[in-house]
Chains A and B, each alone.
Chain A
Amino acid sequence: MSAVELAALAPALALLGALINGLFGRALKEPLPGYLASATVGLGFLFSLFAFFALQSMEEPSVHIALWDYLKAGNFDLSLGFTIDTLSVTMMLIITGVGFLIHLYSIAYMHGDSGFSRYFSFLNLFVAAMLILVLADSFFLMFIGWEGVGVCSYLLISFWYTERANADAARKAFITNRVGDVGFLLAMFLTVFAFGTLNIHEVNELALAGAVSGGLITVIGLFYLLAATGKSAQLPLQVWLPDAMAGPTPVSALIHAATMVTAGVYLIARAGPLFALSPVASTWVAWIGALTAIIAAFAAFAQTDIKKILAFSTISQLGYMFVAVGAGAYWVGIFHVFTHAFFKALLFLGSGSVIHALGGEQDIRKMGGLHKHMKVTSFTSLIATLAIAGVPFFAGFFSKDAILAHVFNSELIGGSKYLLYVLLLVTAVMTAFYMFRWYFQIFRGEERLSEEARAHVHESPALMTVPLMILAFFSVAAGYFGLPEFAFPNVFSHWIERSVEAPVSFGHPSVGLEWFLILLSVAAAALGLGIGYWVYAMRKGEPARGDTGALRNLSASGAGFDALYRPLFIRSSEGLASGLSSLDSNVVNKGVSQGAGSVGLLANVVRWLQTGYARQYALFMFIGVAILALVVALNGGLS
C-alpha cells in the first residue's frame, strides 16, 4: 500500500471511531471518547498529508482505489471506489485538519454534557461521510456520502433534542436537504440515461468527447445545481442553514461552515467539464451564487444572534464560491473553500468560546467589551474578521480577489459577468460592514453583560484556545498558496487544475487593469469596515437605537424566505397531505366495508341480495335449477 492509498483508510478510521463511541461510548470515561475521536481524525489528517506529498512527486494525476462491486444489473455496473487526486486530497486536508482541531476544541466545549460520547460518535461519523463524499469516484458513492453528511447534520443539529426548537431546526435542515437530494437523484438518473455510467471520470471524458448533446448536459447540470443548492444552502434552498445553528457550536463550525456546506461547490468542481460544456448551466450557477451572496449579506445586517450572523455570512461566502465555479474558475472556488474553512471555523469557534464564557448567552446586544476578559479569543476573532472582510494580506483577501478577478475575466458566463462583478463587489462592502459589527459588538465598546454572565465570564481553556490560534495562523497563511497569477507564483491553481481539466478560458487583461481590480476589492473592504466603524464605534450604533424599520425586519427575518415558503410549500403540502389522508380514510377505504363509494353499485346489489334469509337464498338456487332445466329442454335435450 503506497502512501497515497493510505488516504483511503481515513474514512474507515473515522467510521471505526464512530462505531466504538456509538457502541461502547457510555462505558468510557468522559474525555476518552473525545480523544479517541480526535485521534482517528488526526490520523486521517496524517494519512492525507502523506497522500498530499506522495501526489506531488507522482506523474499520473490521480490514483484510483477500487473498493468493491456494489451491484450490477444488466449491463449497468455500479462499483465503489475512491479517487485520490489533488482536488480530493485538498478537501481531505481541510476536512481532517480543521476537523481535528474542532474535535479537540469540542473536548473542552462539550465537557460535562450527558451526550458526550454520542456527540463524538456523530462527529466522527460525519467526518467519515464527508471523506467518502470527497473521495468518491462515482456520483453514486458521492451521493452515499452526500446523504450521510445530511444525516449526521440532522443528528447533530438535534443533538439537544429535548428542546423542540432544536428538533424542528434539524427537521427543516434534513427536509430541505432532501429536496436537494432529489435533484441529485434525478441528475444521476439523467446521467445514466445520457452516459450509461455514474463514474465521474468516465462521465467527464464522455462529455468532453462530445458523446452527449449540449441540451442534455445543461439539464443534467441544472439538476446537479439543484443538489448543490440544497447542501450548500444557496437560493432557493438556503433557509435551513440559519436554523441549523441550533446544534452545538463546534458542529456549526465543522459542518455548517467549513465542510459539509462546501460539498455543493466541490460537486460542481468535480463535474467541472460537464459545467464547462454548458454555458447556460454555468451562468445559472453564477447567478444563483451572486444573488445568494448579496441577499444573505443583507440578511446578516439585522441578526442579533452571534451565530446567526455567521450563518448568513457563510451562505453569502458560499455564494461567492458558486460564482467562482459558475465562472469556470474551479480552482478559485476550491481556493475560497480552503481559506474560508479556516477563518469561518475560527469565527464559529470564537463564538463558541464566547458563548462558553458567558454561560450560553448568544445575543450580541448583551455582549460588548469582552476583549479585556478574553484576549486570545478576541485577537483570533479579529484576524478572522479581517480575513473574511477581505483585508489585504489575510487569506480571505486573496481568495475573494481571485473570485472577483476571474468573474471579471470569465468567458464562460457571457455578458452578465460585469453585473455579477458589481454584485460581488457590493457584497464585499456589506460583508466587511456586518463582520465589523459582529466583532465590535462582541469584543469592543461598552459592556452590556447580564449580571449572571458577568460573574461567569472567563477566557476558555487551552484546549479551546490553541485550536483558535492554529486556525488564526492559517487564516492568514492559507492565502499565500494562491497569490494573484499575473504577478506571483500560484501553486494552488496548478495543484487543483491537475485534477479538473475543464476547457474554460479566461481573458487576460493588462496588468494595470489587474492591479486596478485588486485596488477595487481593497477599497470595498475598507469602505465596509469604515462604515462599520462610523456606525458602531463612532455613533454607538444600533444598541442605543431600537430600530424597527421595514427593511430591518426584512433583514432580521432572513430576507423573508421563511414567511414566503411557509404558505407556498409547507402549508400547501401539509394541506394536500391531510386532504389526501381524509380522502383515503373516507372514500377509498370505506369503499368495501361500507358498501358506498368506489365499489358502489355492485356492493349495494350484493348487499341487497344478502338478506340473511335462508329461504331467499334457496329461491335463488332454485331459479338456477329452473334455468338449467329450461335451457336443456329448449336446446333439445341432452345429447
Chain B
Amino acid sequence: MVPTEYYIALSSIIFVIGAVGVLTRRSAIMVFLSVELMLNAANLALVAFARQWSVAGAATALNGQAAVFIILAIAAAEVAVGLGILVAIFRYRSSTDIDALSEVRL
C-alpha cells in the first residue's frame, strides 16, 4: 500500500495548483473552478488520514470520510450560491472579471 505521506504530497500539489489558479485567473468562473480543486485536495488529505488512523473497532475510524461527505455537501451549496452571485454580477456588469470588482476598496 502507498504510504499516507505520498497522498499528502499529492494533495498539497493539487492544493497549490488550485491556489495558483485562484491567484492568476481573472475570470470569476475560473477562480471558482480553482477553488474546487483546492477543496478536493483537502478532501484527498482527509480520506488519506482516515486510512492512516483507522484502528480496528474504533467508532472514530470513519470520521475523516464523514467529514469529506459534509464538505461535499457544503461545496454543492457553495457552488450553487456562488454561481448565482456570478450570474447576478454578470448581468450587472456583463463581465466576470474580478479585478473590475474592486469596490471593497476604502
**A residues apposed to B, CB below 8 Å:** 607, 610-615, 618-619, 622, 625
Cβ of B56 within 8 Å of any chain A Cβ, yes or no, is: no
**CA of A614 to CA of B22, assembled, Å:** 10
Query: Cβ of B24: which chain A residues have Cβ within 8 Å of it?
Result: 615
**CA of A619 to CA of B23, assembled, Å:** 6
Pick the contact of B98 from A614, A619, A622, A625 — CB < 8 Å?
A614
Query: Cβ of B26: which chain A residues have Cβ within 8 Å of it?
Result: 615
Cβ of B104 within 8 Å of any chain A Cβ, yes or no, is: yes
- Interface flags, B90-103, vs A, CB<8A=1, else 0: 00000000110111
- Interface flags, B18-60, vs A, CB<8A=1, else 0: 0100111010000100000000000000000000000000000
A622:B102 contact, CB within 8 angstroms: no
Pick the contact of A613 from B19, B102, B106 — CB < 8 Å?
B102
- 15 example contacts (A-B, Cβ-Cβ < 8 A) are as follows A610-B105, A610-B106, A611-B102, A611-B105, A612-B102, A613-B98, A613-B102, A614-B101, A614-B102, A614-B104, A615-B26, A615-B99, A619-B23, A622-B23, A625-B19
In the assembled complex, the CB of A93 is this many whole angstroms from the nearest CB of chain B, namely 73
**CA of A610 to CA of B106, assembled, Å:** 7
Query: Cβ of B104: which chain A residues have Cβ within 8 Å of it?
Result: 612, 614
Q: SS class of chain A's interface: helix, strand, loop or mixed?
A: helix
Query: Cβ of A614: which chain B residues have Cβ within 8 Å of it?
Result: 98, 101-102, 104
Additional 4 contacts, C-beta under 8 A, given A613-B98, A615-B23, A615-B98: A614-B101, A615-B99, A618-B22, A619-B23
In the assembled complex, the CB of B27 is this many whole angstroms from the nearest CB of chain A, namely 11
In the assembled complex, the CB of B39 is this many whole angstroms from the nearest CB of chain A, namely 15
- The number of residue pairs between A and B whose CB atoms lie closer than 8 Å in the complex comes to 30
**CA of A617 to CA of B67, assembled, Å:** 28
**CA of A611 to CA of B102, assembled, Å:** 7
In the assembled complex, the CB of A605 is this many whole angstroms from the nearest CB of chain B, namely 13
A613:B99 contact, CB within 8 angstroms: yes
Query: Cβ of B98: which chain A residues have Cβ within 8 Å of it?
Result: 613-615
Closest 5 CB pairs of A and B: A612-B105, A612-B102, A612-B104, A610-B106, A614-B98
**CA of A619 to CA of B98, assembled, Å:** 14
**CA of A613 to CA of B99, assembled, Å:** 6
In the assembled complex, the CB of B48 is this many whole angstroms from the nearest CB of chain A, namely 15
On whether A607 and B23 interact (CB within 8 A), knowing A614-B101, A615-B98, A615-B99, the answer reads no
Query: Cβ of A613: which chain B residues have Cβ within 8 Å of it?
Result: 98-99, 102
**B residues apposed to A, CB below 8 Å:** 19, 22-24, 26, 31, 98-99, 101-106
Query: Cβ of A615: which chain B residues have Cβ within 8 Å of it?
Result: 22-24, 26, 31, 98-99
In the assembled complex, the CB of A91 is this many whole angstroms from the nearest CB of chain B, namely 67
**CA of A607 to CA of B105, assembled, Å:** 9
A622:B19 contact, CB within 8 angstroms: yes
Query: Cβ of A610: which chain B residues have Cβ within 8 Å of it?
Result: 105-106
In the assembled complex, the CB of B12 is this many whole angstroms from the nearest CB of chain A, namely 8
Query: Cβ of A607: which chain B residues have Cβ within 8 Å of it?
Result: 106
B22:A612 contact, CB within 8 angstroms: no
A618:B23 contact, CB within 8 angstroms: yes
In the assembled complex, the CB of A154 is this many whole angstroms from the nearest CB of chain B, namely 49
Which one of B101, B103, B104 has the greatest number of beta carbons of chain A within 10 Å? B104
Query: Cβ of B99: which chain A residues have Cβ within 8 Å of it?
Result: 613, 615
Chain A residue nearest in CB terms to B102: A612
In the assembled complex, the CB of A597 is this many whole angstroms from the nearest CB of chain B, namely 16
**CA of A618 to CA of B26, assembled, Å:** 12
**CA of A557 to CA of B101, assembled, Å:** 72
In the assembled complex, the CB of A256 is this many whole angstroms from the nearest CB of chain B, namely 60
**CA of A386 to CA of B58, assembled, Å:** 119
**CA of A618 to CA of B105, assembled, Å:** 14
Chain B residue nearest in CB terms to A625: B19
Query: Cβ of A622: which chain B residues have Cβ within 8 Å of it?
Result: 19, 22-23
In the assembled complex, the CB of A333 is this many whole angstroms from the nearest CB of chain B, namely 69
In the assembled complex, the CB of A523 is this many whole angstroms from the nearest CB of chain B, namely 86
**CA of A610 to CA of B104, assembled, Å:** 8
**CA of A614 to CA of B28, assembled, Å:** 11
Query: Cβ of A618: which chain B residues have Cβ within 8 Å of it?
Result: 22-23
In the assembled complex, the CB of B58 is this many whole angstroms from the nearest CB of chain A, namely 21
In the assembled complex, the CB of B24 is this many whole angstroms from the nearest CB of chain A, namely 8
Chain A residue nearest in CB terms to B105: A612
In the assembled complex, the CB of B101 is this many whole angstroms from the nearest CB of chain A, namely 7
Chain A residue nearest in CB terms to B103: A612
Query: Cβ of B19: which chain A residues have Cβ within 8 Å of it?
Result: 622, 625
